[in-house]
Chains A and B, each alone.
Chain A
């Protein structure tokens, strides 16, 4: 077994010596010295610029707990805070409400803070439909915000809007009766304004994907549960 010593180990030392020899005159040059000092100062300044992070100091929810004998003034402040907290609680629905995460296609039915039902749903696809001849454009988004159940319909009939015909390459019917479609919305529909509703679907295999035209599609069983548990005025929160 042979060990290589020689050029392989000597070369770096020679290179270093050669570099040192070449740099020696530069190190004596005043301009180079100034340049080096300026670079060092600049790097130091950059290193000292930015943000200094410290843990956030949290405060206990009851600041008066540490006071042995709270004064009347402190009691007054505590009462004012309690009123604010109570006003805040009164805004939160304590009854049944629906929360829809349209990004992840999940629907939750809540009573106060209790989860009654969680199920996959299908929200708006976000697709853009352009009509060739008239130049109309539709964007199939589900709206975000706070809504409420405005009407409840059993065995709903879909009155197809213009885009439904345009999308299928069909002429828009002159007779309003030609717009009605039976069975495609499932067993129930809960309308929450501007033509949007929570309803069933014929395409249950696509539930969980964003495939609707803006409505919320739900599977048969969760829709039945939703129908049983909600009423007119039930709040709906979509985000």
Chain B
């Protein structure tokens, strides 16, 4: 008795449907919330890895935490001083109204070589030692030198601009603004500050490919901004935490 045979196209269609259904069952549609959480977690982990690498080094670094709203000076994981950020903004360069866009992972890179702009100048007192006396040396000597000059404290010697920048090698610049700090500046100084900022903004945007890809505008209390300016070590590094993708 001949077996009943199914037509070949029907067999192919049935097989495809079964296989397709199996494949669909094996790979469920991803949960959008989980996908978003993964992306954020990947970013947070990369930033944490950067921080761990910096804490293993001997140099100082700045830790900008967007979630906690703090800017800290850190050495080997130890927070030396921490300042509360009152406003945090990100500047994106644009040329003739055309936005240049930012690399997606701009905030997970390691930033190095940070220097103050304008630089902090320290006036050092120079003393040329008097020629040694011919009398007996040591405590019994009759030489009575004049009292050495007393150097000025940091507060007395450094004039802190109301806006200053910390420029890093990798094209990130932090612009520190002191909340209410401009009140202590004269009208002329305020005009000079504004003109300097205006010029730097234009120049920075035009030099986008080489430098100043990202501007971070950080507003601190006036005394915090001044303290950071006075004590920032040279060649500082930077790690950014707690930022999310746009």
Contacts and interface: CB of A to CB of B under 8 A. Distances in A.
A84 B198 CA distance: 41
Contacts of B81: 101, 239
A70 interface: yes
A50 B75 contact: no
Contact of A209 (B31, B151, B244): B151
A53 B90 contact: yes
A101 B73 CA distance: 11
A172 B129 CA distance: 13
Interface string A9-47: 000000000000000000000000000000000001110
Contacts of A146: 58, 75-76, 78
Contact of B37 (A70, A103, A139, A208): A70
A126 B156 CA distance: 14
B99 A52 contact: yes
A167 B151 contact: no
Contact of A103 (B69, B89, B133, B231): B231
Contacts of A179: 138
Interface stretch (B12-20, B48-56, B164-172, B185-193): B48-56
A181 interface: yes
A121 to B, nearest CB: 12
Contacts of A97: 78
A87 interface: yes
Contacts of A87: 52
B196 to A, nearest CB: 13
Given A74-B38, A104-B154, A126 B122 contact: yes
Given A48-B96, A169-B130, A211 B51 contact: no
Interface in A153-180: 165-173, 178-179
A167 B231 contact: no
Given A85-B48, A128-B124, A169 B131 contact: yes
Task: Give the contact-size bracket for chain A.
Answer: 35 or more
Contacts of A52: 91-92, 94, 99
Contacts of A133: 131
Nearest to A130: B128
B199 to A, nearest CB: 10
Nearest to A84: B48
A61 to B, nearest CB: 6
B89 A59 contact: no
Given A126-B124, A171-B137, A59 B242 contact: yes
B84 interface: no
A105 B153 contact: yes
A66 B36 CA distance: 9
Contacts of B127: 127-130, 167
B34 A71 contact: yes
Helix, strand, loop or mixed for chain B's interface? mixed
Contact of A91 (B55, B66, B92): B55
A211 B153 CA distance: 9
Contacts of B34: 67, 70-71, 74
B85 to A, nearest CB: 10
B48 A104 contact: no
Contact of B49 (A74, A84, A104): A84
Interface string B217-246: 100000000010011010000000011111
A6 interface: no
Nearest to A163: B129
B41 interface: yes
B145 interface: yes
A202 interface: no
Contacts of B138: 170, 173, 178-179
Interface of B: 31, 33-34, 36-38, 40-45, 48-49, 51-52, 55-56, 58, 60, 66-67, 69, 73, 75-78, 80-81, 87-99, 122, 124-134, 137-139, 141, 143, 145, 148-151, 153-155, 198, 201-202, 204-206, 215-217, 227, 230-231, 233, 242-246
10 contacts: A49-B205, A50-B205, A53-B91, A67-B37, A92-B77, A127-B151, A167-B129, A178-B137, A211-B150, A239-B75
